[in-house]
Chain A
Amino acid sequence: MKSFKLDWLLLPLIGFGVVLVVWAISSNTWATNLPSPAKTWESSREYVLSPFAKRGEMDQGILRFTWYSLILVAQGYGLALLVGTPIGFCLGLSKTFTKIFDPIIQILRPVSPLAWLPLGLVLFMNAGKEAGTYGALFTIAICAMWPTVLNTAVGVRAVPQDFLNVGRVLKLSRWKTLTKILIPATLPYMFTGFRLSLGIAWLAIVAAEMLTGRPGAGGFLWQEYNALIYEHIILSIITIGLVGFALDRLMSLLERRFKSI
């Protein structure tokens, strides 16, 4: 079959079209509480067309909300990388360390952000007004950490023996072995971990905002559910999806840069 030049544009559009049709039909037939696409757009217009407006604490432009979420994600994600990468290195380098901590990691890894958040709030209860922020950061960091930890560990174990032998024959210091051999050799794996971690951090933010009621894309979603403005739930979902997609693309660009070495 001959492929058209516009395939990359046309074919995804067909996909979007199909979803829109299913959505429109559903809202008209069996799910009558589901706002139709047209109604959703009508009700969301203000939020999309003036995306940075601030009319009140929980009534702001959608990109302004997104921006709040992104800031919180960036902090929690940074924390996850800061903690996760060294743990990954320790796991990759030491069999004993792996034997001690691997079981606990495997147990903590599948725990949902929704489960961590209450614990985070309890942990930082004494922080007063900032308890919600710290709890959210804790949740994002602990959930987003695992892919970084595990990928870094795998990467360190996969460093070719030849490179390590070069280090041994030259009697490189520990620091030089780390900076000149181990880290560069592990970098591609680390970036895969970083990308997956960012995806999870973005997943966790919604949960964190919902439960703490912070202004943000997820907080807005929950508030509008309670306010019975269901159109805005869909607006939030679309925004969260698009931002997550953009973040993933961004990271895979970075990742490719490092993989080319």
Chain B
Amino acid sequence: MAFLELTNVSKGFGGPPVLSDINLSIGLGEFVAIVGYSGSGKTTLISLIAGLLRPTAGAITLDGQPITGPDPERGLVFQNYSLLPWLTVAENIALAVESVYPGKSPADQAEQVDRFIAMVRLAHARDRLPRDLSGGMRQRVAVARTLATLPRILLLDEPLSALDALTRASLQDEITQIRRTDNTTILLITNSVDEALLLADRVIPLTPGPGATLGESVTVNLPRPRDRKALNHDPEFKRLRALITNRLLGYRTGVKANVTRKLILPDILPEDLDAPRVNRPPRRPSEIREEVVALNS
């Protein structure tokens, strides 16, 4: 029996379904990455698992228990950090710890807060406000806040997508480190195939929406620890990357979405002043035309 199980899950917001027929099972201690284009419903998927949204159809269970709403047992790291700007690093994490472990003594709670601040190497920034931290540091606080509640599964919603390449690499190492020490079950959502292959045991592509669904899962048999530099020359890594990229590209040609947008043209018309005006009044209304733009092409 899988630890996290999604069966025939669909989700729509009134219009065509964003996600349809999602089947996913993740074993205890497994690290699974879901890769997909932006706008394909990745955040919707993780919100369903987090319990922030309810599926239109299908069932989600964690350890056999159906998911009915948000719960700290499924620790979600938000894409945009979502730290509370009026609380310091320590206060942000303490809020989580106090809420999830109200029975613990204040001393134990404080110890737990400090332990997780130390874990993401932010002891020096303990009493700073989020606005005084860099993007990478903020994301580390967000990760620490989630980990400090000792979740049974860690849900990472494109946690590194807003960071620059160098910070991204160092945080990827940090995630690997956390995973090695705690052996937590992790579901990572990302738009980077490389990142997925570097971190995960299994990579699953998400087809572009509307009606996005999960593709065939690809097992990553690269030995750990994985070295970013060495991987680039690893034939197995190259093969997997090509495989997943081609699959994603393959979906792309299959599905095409057209968006009609309204164009309001400027209220000027080029006019040939030499041309004789024959039966044509000067036209000066602002023109509204519609243009069809093909996406995903």
Contact = CB atoms under 8 A, between A and B. Distances in A.
Interface string B63-98: 000000111101110101010111100000001100
A166 B82 contact: yes
Given A165-B52, A181-B84, A170 B96 contact: yes
Given A169-B50, A180-B84, A162 B99 contact: no
Interface in B214-258: none
A35 B100 CA distance: 72
A169 B70 contact: yes
Interface stretch (A55-63, A98-106, A171-179, A238-246): A171-179
A171 B75 CA distance: 11
B240 to A, nearest CB: 32
Contacts of B52: 165, 168-169
Contact of A184 (B70, B72, B78, B84): B84
Contacts of A162: 78, 80, 82
A166 B84 contact: yes
B207 interface: no
Nearest to A173: B99
Given A162-B80, A163-B82, A166-B78, A171 B70 contact: yes
A165 B78 CA distance: 9
Contacts of B40: none
Nearest to B75: A169
Q: What bracket does the count of chain A residues touching chain B fall in?
A: 10 to 19
A162 B43 CA distance: 13
Contacts of A181: 84
Contacts of B99: 170-173, 176
Nearest to B100: A170
A261 interface: yes
Contacts of B95: 170, 172, 176, 180
B149 interface: yes
A171 B87 contact: no
Contacts of B76: 165, 169
Contacts of A166: 78, 82, 84
Nearest to B69: A168
Interface in A149-164: 162-163
Nearest to B129: A261
Given A165-B78, A170-B99, A176-B95, A261 B70 contact: no
A181 B96 CA distance: 12
A32 B61 CA distance: 87
A171 B100 contact: yes
A173 B102 CA distance: 11
Nearest to B47: A165
A173 to B, nearest CB: 7
Contacts of A165: 52, 70, 76, 78, 82
Contacts of B82: 162-163, 165-166
Nearest to A166: B82
Given A170-B149, A172-B99, A176-B99, A261 B78 contact: no
Interface string A169-197: 11111001000110011000000000000
A169 B77 CA distance: 10
A235 B96 CA distance: 58
B71 A171 contact: yes
Nearest to B149: A170
B140 to A, nearest CB: 16
A159 B165 CA distance: 31
B126 to A, nearest CB: 18
A218 B100 CA distance: 56
Contacts of B84: 163, 166, 180-181, 184
A168 B87 contact: no
A173 B100 CA distance: 10
A170 B72 contact: yes
Contact of A261 (B80, B86, B96): B86
A163 B130 CA distance: 14
Contact of B70 (A163, A168, A180): A168
Contacts of A170: 72, 95-96, 99-100, 149
A171 B72 contact: yes
A179 to B, nearest CB: 10
A184 to B, nearest CB: 4
6 contacts: A165-B78, A168-B69, A169-B70, A170-B149, A171-B99, A180-B95
Interface of B: 50-52, 69-72, 74-76, 78, 80, 82, 84-87, 95-96, 99-100, 149
Given A162-B80, A169-B51, 17 more contacts: A162-B78, A163-B82, A163-B84, A168-B52, A168-B69, A169-B52, A169-B74, A170-B149, A171-B70, A171-B72, A172-B99, A176-B99, A180-B87, A181-B84, A184-B84, A184-B86, A261-B85
Closest 5 CB pairs of A and B: A184-B86, A162-B82, A168-B70, A169-B70, A170-B99
